[in-house]
Amino acid sequence: MLSAQLLLAAAVGLVLGGIVTFFILRRRERVGRELEKSEARDEASRILKRASDEADTALRAGELAGREEGFRVREAWEKEETRRREDLERAERRNEERSVGLDRQVDQLKARELELGERVASLDDRHAEVTRRDAAVKEAGRSARVRLEQLAGLSAEEAKKELIESLEDEARADAANTLREVKEQAQREAEREARKIVTLSIQRMAADLTAQTTVSVVQLPSDEMKGRIIGREGRNIRAFEQATGVDVVIDDTPEAVVLSAFDPVRREIARMALAELVEDGRIHPGRIEETVEKAGKEVERTMFEGAEEVLYELGIHNVHSEIVKTLGRLRFRTSFGQNQLQHAKEVALLAGNMAAEMGLDVAETKRAGILHDVGKGMTHEHEGTHVELGYRLCKKHEESAIVLNAIKAHHDEEPHYFAETFLVSAADAISGSRPGARREMVEGYVKRLEKLEELAMEHPGVERCFAIQAGRELRVMVEPSRVTDGDMAQISEAVARKIENELQYPGQIKVVVVRETRAIDFAR
């Protein structure tokens, strides 16, 4: 009985101990979870605080960088504004100086006009006095002739015949000398006046010169881009060459691709398209065709705007859009390295300035100057010379007779019918022949010099000759025993005409004939 009670008490104790243990463990678990939650909250608070601190630091750094960038932008703007203000002041000073110079010239012209008026009045008085004296001399001559006939026993006709026969050779020689002197004086005065007009025209026009070639270079970010340009089995480069019509040269040149084409417009389209493809990074045949078409439209727009800008600067209006479009193609056309749009602009400015000095039609002269080589914008697509193409284009759109004559006359395909077209031809020669304007191949340059010397050596009496001043002057040495001083002018004129007929050259060539006589002896 007692053992049964003990067992019951032990069982009850075990049950109570298990229950107490369960509640204790559960409480401990609850306390542990609360501790974990507290630690998690503390960790989250620390993370939020650290993030807040980092955000504040980044915000302050951004504010400092923004302020520094603002200071830099402001400083750059102030420098640019100062530079523009200085340029404006310099331009104003130049305008004031030009205005003062023009006023001075006007005063000088007025003074000369007054002086000429006084000279005219004086000449009128002298003319009246000479007329009076001439009548008196004629009367005295009649009296003297009657007296001489009585004394000599000869009639006036017989005496006149003898006098004419005795003085005929002397009169002919005097007339030849006088003619030569008048010709030389007229030539000196004409050259001096022409040099003055051309110099003034050139001084009023400042031109920049850029020499272009038949290749363009596109820079690459890395040499790996060359492989992407070529494409798998060369499909990209073939598609690009077919779409643009240019040759793509990929060699060992680091980070560069060369585009070669004779047509400068196609070459410029290819350059713009390839640059955009390289920048975009997507290079495949479909993308190439799309980019080339876009570049072509951009180049057409650039050429048209370039031509419009030149016409606006020259003050030329009412030009047909087809002519403006063709003129714009000259922006990418060169001749001996000289940009043809800039050349046409130079010719228009030079010819216009000379027309203003000579009192001619400045507007028509400028218009003829800018359009004299417009046909060069069509020679890559049409058959015929640039003179024929430009003439047909301008005639189709009803340009004036001066413009049409200037297009043909500046290459001697028809005579000059207007004074303005002479100025266009002169301005064309000046623009093309001034030093540095055009480049010439070495072989052609040497052949031209050799041909110059050969033409001079063909004339009888020429001992030797030298082409100097880069072929712009020819010194001809003659044999003094075979050539007289009177023959020198004939030789220089004959050589000059022969050069004009048989050679093509820019500008003009001066022919100088030298005759030297030496007397040598020795003192022993």
What digits encode the pLDDT tens for the residues 195-226? 556 555 554 444 444 334 556 777 888 877 88
For residue 329, what is the DSSP state? G
| Same structural domain, 403 and 452 | no
What is the per-residue pLDDT for 210? 39
In Å, what is the CA distance from 134 to each residue of 26, 128, 144, 509? 157, 10, 15, 49
Q: How far apart are CA 404 and CA 395, in angstroms?
A: 7
User: Quick check: pTM over 0.85?
Assistant: no
Distances (CA, A) of 476 to 455, 456, 462, 480: 11, 7, 7, 12
Residue 189 lies in a domain: no
Strands 247-249 and 256-260: antiparallel
The residue with greater pLDDT, 28 or 2, is 28
Instruction: Indicate whether 357 and 383 sit together in one domain.
Output: yes
Torsion of CA 75, 77, 83, 89, to 10 degrees: -120
- Residue among 157, 200, 508 nearest 357 (CA): 200
Helix (H, G, I), strand (E, B) or coil at 417: coil
Question: Pairing between strand 473-478 and 510-515?
Answer: parallel
* pLDDT for 411: 79
Predicted local distance difference test score (pLDDT) of residue 153: 61
Q: CATH no. for residue 504?
A: 3.30.70.1350
Has residue 441 got a pLDDT over 60? no
The residues, ordered by sequence, that sit 6+ positions from 364 with a Cβ below 8 Å of its Cβ are 400, 402, 403, 420
Residue 335 lies in a domain: yes
Q: What pLDDT does residue 332 have?
A: 76
Chain CA centroid to CA 436, Å: 11
Residue 166: the pLDDT is: 65
Residue 28 lies in a domain: no
342 and 284 share one domain: no
Q: 396 and 350 in one domain?
A: yes
- In whole angstroms, what separates CA 457 from the centre of its chain? 38
Mean pLDDT, residues 36-47:
81
> Per residue in 380-399, is it b (16+ CB within 10 Å) or e — as a string?
eeeeeebbbbbbbbbeeeeb
Same domain, 411 and 460: no
> How many angstroms separate the first and last alpha carbons of the chain?
181
With beta carbons less than 8 A apart as the criterion, state whether 349 and 428 touch: no
The 3-state secondary structure of 91-160 reads HHHHHHHHHHHHHHHHHHHHHHHHHHHHHHHHHHHHHHHHHHHHHHHHHHHHHHHHHHHHHHCCCHHHHH
Same-domain pairing of 429 and 448: no
pLDDT of residue 211: 38
User: Could you report the per-residue pLDDT of 387-412, keeping only the tens digit for each?
Assistant: 888 888 888 888 888 888 888 887 77
| Coil vs helix vs strand at 45 | helix
Provide the CATH number for the domain around residue 382. Answer: 1.10.3210.10
In 245-284, where does DSSP find H-type helix?
A: 264-280
Least confident segment among 118-127, 189-198, 334-343, 419-428: 189-198
- Flag the least confident range among 88-102, 202-216, 225-239, 461-475: 202-216
Q: Which two tokens stand for residue 297?
A: 């439209």
Task: Tell me the average pLDDT across 255-281.
Answer: 81
* Radius of gyration, alpha carbons of the chain: 46
> In terms of residues, how long is the chain?
524
Nearest 5°: phi and psi at 415? -65, 160
**Which residue, 116, 150, 184, sits at the end of a domain?**
150
Cα separation values, 124 from 34, 119, 192, 430, Å: 132, 9, 29, 43
Query: What 3-state class would DSSP assign to 447?
Result: helix
Range of the domain at 503: 443-514
Whole-number average pLDDT of the chain: 79
- Predicted pLDDT at 176: 65
The one-letter amino acid code at 358 reads M
Q: Around Cβ 86, how many Cβ atoms within 10 Å?
A: 10
241 in any annotated domain: yes
DSSP state of 381: T
82 & 122 share domain: yes
For residues 111-124, average pLDDT: 86
**Cβ atoms of residues 387 and 407 within 8 Å:** yes
Do 470 and 365 sit in the same domain of this protein?
no
Burial of 325 (0-12, 13-18, 19+ CB in 10 A): middle
Specify if 158 maps to a domain: no
Residue, of 384 and 193, whose pLDDT is higher: 384
Q: What share of the chain has pLDDT > 90, as a percent?
A: 0
- Between 518 and 130, the more confident residue is 130
Tally of structural domains, the chain: 4
**Residue whose token pair is 């050429």:** 303
394 is written with which tokens?
């301008």
Strand ranges inside 168-318, DSSP E: 215-219, 247-249, 256-260
What's the CA dihedral at 34, 39, 42, 44 to 10 degrees? -100
Boundary residue ending a domain (123, 150, 177): 150
**222 domain-assigned:** yes
| 292 and 330 both lie in a single domain | no
Looking at the fold, whether 392 and 456 belong to one and the same domain comes out as no
H-type helices in 359-484, by residue range?
A: 362-371, 386-396, 401-409, 419-433, 442-457
Residue 289 burial (C-beta neighbours within 10 Å; 0-12, 13-18, 19+) = middle
> What is the pLDDT at residue 507?
67
Contacts of 482 (CB under 8 A, 6+ apart): 460, 461
Strand, helix or coil for residue 174: helix
- Domain co-membership, 63 together with 127: yes
| pLDDT: which is higher, 73 or 31 | 73
The mean pLDDT of 141-168, rounded to a whole number, is: 68
Q: How far is CA 101 from CA 97, 112, 359, in A?
A: 6, 16, 20
- Residue 327 is assigned to a structural domain of this protein: yes
Q: Which of 433, 453, 477 is the last residue of a domain?
A: 433
Query: Checking DSSP bridges between strand 338-339 and strand 462-468, what pairing results, if any?
Result: unpaired
Q: What is the pLDDT of residue 281?
A: 79
24 within a domain of the structure (yes/no): no
Q: Please check whether residues 267 and 333 belong to one and the same domain.
A: no
The pLDDT tens digits of the residues spanning 295-346 come to 888 888 888 888 888 888 888 888 888 888 888 888 777 766 677 788 888 8
Query: Mean pLDDT, to the nearest integer, of 167-181?
Result: 68
Comparing C-alpha atoms, which of 445, 428, 446 is closest to residue 437? 428
